[in-house]
Structure 1
Amino acid sequence: MSAYTLEPQLPFGLIVRASQPGHTIAGFGREQVESWVREHRILIFRGFELFDKTAFALYAQQLGEPLQWPFGAINELKVKLDAKNYLYTPSAVPLHWDGAFIGKIPYLIFFQCLKAPRPEDRGGTTFADTGRALARATPAQRRRWQAATLRYRTEKIVHYGGTLTQPLVQAHPVTGAPTLRFAEPVHDLNPVTVEVLHATPEAGAALIQELQTALYAPQVFYIHTWADNDIVLADNHTLLHGRDAFLNPNERHIQRINLLARPAHTGLKQFLKNSKTLRRTEFLLAEIPIFFIPILLSAEGFGFLKTPELYGGLAGIYLLFNFGDMVNAYADRRVDAVYKSHLSNAIFELGDQGVRWQMRASVAGTVGISLWLTRRTGRWQFVPLTLIGWALGFQYSWKPLHFKSRGLWQLPALWAVLFFGPMAYTSSLVTHFPRRPVLTLAAAYGLLQMAVLLLNNAEDYTEDRAAGLQTMVVAMGLHRSMRVAQTMIAGAGLVTLGSLAYLYRSEKLPRAAYLGLLPLAGALAYVARGYATINQKIAGKDETAATAIIKENGMLVPKWLNATAYTCLLAAGVLFAARVVRGGNPPA
């Protein structure tokens, strides 16, 4: 007996119905799924078990590259009381295509229905086959459509928005077949305006009406009435989709993943793209002060810029950062498939062996550079700092120690591998051994940045707890961790300022130079005030409400990191500049 039956639908679509309960669709490979979608436009799996979120994201990854949204790969399509966009209301959603305003158009839309509305409450997803609409059009209509260009505008309130100009008729990027790239105007929350370029308002309105008539014709229009556990894949290039308005808003919950088509051939360009993704180059801006603050505090003059040891050492420490980022992404690839799908997808495309090879190469590179530095400079600390960094970077993400899930141990492990160790390393590039005030500043600066990162960690509180990760925020609790972070900002900030002031005084800088500390003091006040505001908002709230508030403030993390990092770098630069002007050396 076959495990499933096939039931073609009218006017288009295919139902794949499970013959026996208890099975998922995981056994259907990408080639089979894509073949059915190409032929039938929409593929409906019925009678199969749903995936959990992680399995849903991982299976989707096999079909294409998941599109990463600010909320992750999975869009929870359910009514929200505080909705700012019509997608999250029970209102009708006009026909459109996904990805319009972000510059990346998904090939497939992948749905699974956790809770379906009753048929009498409506809420079906509507689909219009633009290929069929073009085939049914008269020659005059096709000429008008071929010549038309439309401009769409909407305010960015949720995860999309802006202005977009598109030719109406476009070739399907995968199959090459002609399609219509059209979205209906929206007169609801977050309105969308549609303008036909180079046409009078009357002619533009007539063209839009003509398109709507063609797309809602019974021969090209289909409403999918959801049933619990339905799993649906649809071609986002050929089909437009929308939603019928519905009653009982709490009775509809659908999860959706948008999938980009993978390149037909994954060559060097794709390899480099994925390798860059795993190296988290978006963090480089925040890493520059880590590298250069100790150098500026320790160097005697500009002579260090001429030494090969500087550039070799910076390459070595950057490779060590790369190793830590790759290990963390590799260890978290299953969880990241849901919340950081670009990382999980990069690992999928590179393959496990490819990622492991790159990690080994990074380790070999850092060890080789540290040995070379020791031989060139006679400074013994490079090898142990590298080995400790390598060990901490590995054990942060992997068992047996797995510091990321060791509660409060996460803080010192991350502090050492991200801040104190690298700052001791880069200081050693320009001096025999880092001075005590420089090490004190490195320790305080690391704690200051860790306090900021606690907010980033707190954003993942719900997901980490669900995944069984005992992070420092999970261990302390959401509210307490935010209070601790606020206290750390004050304490570590004062020590950082005090260390810089001590260095200024020990080198007898003029009073005017102390103005270089004011931006850092301002940045510390800015972050402290921000944490105070967050703590006031979450006080008395339950964890769900508090997490929502913290997520709303998550965009502050890079601002806070850069504000404190670059004002500290500025203060170090003032000290270095004064030393260069004076022509003296730092005190021993």
Structure 2
Amino acid sequence: MATILLGPLFAAENFSSLIDIDILLFGILFFFSITFACNINCYHDRDVDTLKKKDLARSIDSLGISTVKNVMVFESVIVFVLILYFFLNGYIGVALLASLGWAFGYLYSAPPIRLKNRGILGPIPVNLGVYVLPIFAGHLIIDPNPTMMFLLFVAGYALLNFGINLVNVAEDYEVDRRCEITTAAHKLGLKRTVGSASSTASIGSAVVLITLLPQVKDFYTTLVFLVALLAMIFTSADITSILLSDEVHEKAQKKGKRLPLYFTSTRYPMVLLLLLAIL
């Protein structure tokens, strides 16, 4: 949920501007949008998950297909009610971006389009739907005029997370191949995929840090900035280390277990830094 806070925090001039019902409703909208995207992915990936992510496959089986479908319908209804709310209250941009986010979540997993099975196009809906659109939408609720620094921040954040997600793509290379899912790793090869992960994560980290530098104003913000710097250096270096192995796929599988660490260690220092800057 760190991503949802980044847009409003970047736009806010003080903490009181965050105390708003629209910010709360935006949080609920993002939550149901992401759970819908996750559920529809699990639903259509059940056969794939039986080979690796067995807990996800078992959860689908234990709930039952009809229950999972009903949950997705419920989530979609909540999403579109909130989209309508924002539209009617003048947040046209927020409503449009949220609609695109829901569409990306659906098109990524559901046939016949199923973008995740479209090679190098696969990571695009994830990156836009999870790491770009929500940050823009959150910013628009507070400030409808994004600055160039904010645009650079979003670009850097998207690149960083794109790189991290490519590790997951490389990790699932064999399972996806057996299930006839064509990902970027199959189009580019494992070495080039991991190389892309390393370069985009490194470039994204540098851009994010540059855009966050103006938020450093005192001892505490300096400390948090240094934590963010170290976390991004570690993440980029750890991803790059996959390339040094003779067994790239095996190494990617091991590093794939660190994805939660990569995500949390890079995101939450950003949130804390932006929060401290407006207190």
Same fold by TM-score greater than 0.5: yes
SS of residue paired to 2:122: helix
User: 1:372 is matched with which residue?
Assistant: 85
Q: Distance in 1 between matches of 2:87 and 2:183?
A: 36
User: 1:421 is matched with which residue?
Assistant: 133
User: 1:446 is matched with which residue?
Assistant: 158
User: 2:64 is matched with which residue?
Assistant: 351
- Counterpart among 24, 37, 60 of residue 311 in structure 1: 24
Report deviation, 1:510. 4.2
User: 1:574 is matched with which residue?
Assistant: 276
Matched, 1:326 2:34: no
User: 2:104 is matched with which residue?
Assistant: 392
Which runs of no fewer than 5 residues in structure 1 stay unpaired?
1-287, 578-588
Seen in structure 2, the aligned counterparts of structure 1 residues 322 and 438 have a Cα distance that, compared at 3 Å, is same
- Counterpart among 241, 249, 262 of residue 547 in structure 1: 249
Q: What one-letter code is carried by the residue in structure 2 that aligns with 1:484?
A: S
User: 1:406 is matched with which residue?
Assistant: 118
Write 1 or 2 for the structure with the bigger share of helix: 2
Matched, 1:521 2:229: yes
CA displacement, residues 443-486 of structure 1 (integer Å, 9 cap, x when unaligned): 21122012112212211111111111111122211111111111
Does the CA-based 8 Å contact 2:7-2:134 persist in structure 1? no
Q: What one-letter code is carried by the residue in structure 2 that aligns with 1:535?
A: L
Q: What one-letter code is carried by the residue in structure 1 that aligns with 2:248?
A: A
SS of residue paired to 2:182: coil
Does the CA-based 8 Å contact 2:12-2:18 persist in structure 1? no
CA displacement, residues 28-59 of structure 1 (integer Å, 9 cap, x when unaligned): xxxxxxxxxxxxxxxxxxxxxxxxxxxxxxxx
CA displacement, residues 358-409 of structure 1 (integer Å, 9 cap, x when unaligned): 1122111111112212333x22112211211111101101233321111111
User: 2:267 is matched with which residue?
Assistant: 565
User: 2:76 is matched with which residue?
Assistant: 363
Q: Distance in 2 between matches of 1:570 and 1:302?
A: 13
Larger Rg belongs to: 1
Q: What one-letter code is carried by the residue in structure 2 that aligns with 1:555?
A: K
Aligned pairs for 1:260-279 within 5 A: none
Aligned pairs for 1:24-39 within 5 A: none
Report deviation, 1:433. 4.5
Report deviation, 1:327. 0.8
CA displacement, residues 46-79 of structure 1 (integer Å, 9 cap, x when unaligned): xxxxxxxxxxxxxxxxxxxxxxxxxxxxxxxxxx
Which runs of no fewer than 5 residues in structure 2 stay unpaired?
none
Q: Distance in 2 between matches of 1:464 and 1:390?
A: 24
Q: Distance in 2 between matches of 1:525 and 1:495?
A: 13
Seen in structure 2, the aligned counterparts of structure 1 residues 511 and 305 have a Cα distance that, compared at 3 Å, is closer
Q: Distance in 1 between matches of 2:232 and 2:59?
A: 36
Q: Whose RCO is larger (CA < 8 A, sep 6+)? A: 2
- Counterpart among 466, 469, 485 of residue 197 in structure 2: 485
Report deviation, 1:546. 2.6
SS of residue paired to 1:408: coil
Seen in structure 2, the aligned counterparts of structure 1 residues 395 and 319 have a Cα distance that, compared at 3 Å, is same
Q: Distance in 1 between matches of 2:59 and 2:137?
A: 30
CA displacement, residues 290-328 of structure 1 (integer Å, 9 cap, x when unaligned): 011222111122224432111111001110001100110
Q: Distance in 2 between matches of 1:516 and 1:350?
A: 42
Aligned pairs for 1:2-17 within 5 A: none
Does the CA-based 8 Å contact 1:464-1:474 persist in structure 2? no
Seen in structure 2, the aligned counterparts of structure 1 residues 528 and 302 have a Cα distance that, compared at 3 Å, is closer
Q: Distance in 2 between matches of 1:534 and 1:415?
A: 22
Seen in structure 2, the aligned counterparts of structure 1 residues 401 and 439 have a Cα distance that, compared at 3 Å, is farther
Q: Distance in 1 between matches of 2:82 and 2:57?
A: 30
TM-score (norm 2): 0.91
Report deviation, 1:574. 3.4
Report deviation, 1:514. 4.9
Seen in structure 2, the aligned counterparts of structure 1 residues 510 and 565 have a Cα distance that, compared at 3 Å, is closer
Q: What one-letter code is carried by the residue in structure 2 that aligns with 1:398?
A: A
Q: Distance in 1 between matches of 2:239 and 2:29?
A: 35
Q: What one-letter code is carried by the residue in structure 2 that aligns with 1:557?
A: L
User: 2:48 is matched with which residue?
Assistant: 335
Does the CA-based 8 Å contact 2:122-2:184 persist in structure 1? yes
- Counterpart among 427, 445, 460 of residue 172 in structure 2: 460
CA displacement, residues 74-101 of structure 1 (integer Å, 9 cap, x when unaligned): xxxxxxxxxxxxxxxxxxxxxxxxxxxx
- Counterpart among 496, 499, 505 of residue 208 in structure 2: 496
CA displacement, residues 250-295 of structure 1 (integer Å, 9 cap, x when unaligned): xxxxxxxxxxxxxxxxxxxxxxxxxxxxxxxxxxxxxx22011222
SS of residue paired to 2:142: coil
Q: What one-letter code is carried by the residue in structure 2 that aligns with 1:534?
A: I
Write 1 or 2 for the structure with the bigger share of strand: 1
SS of residue paired to 1:470: coil
Q: Distance in 1 between matches of 2:36 and 2:235?
A: 30
Q: Distance in 2 between matches of 1:340 and 1:391?
A: 25
Identity %: 23
- Counterpart among 223, 240, 245 of residue 532 in structure 1: 240
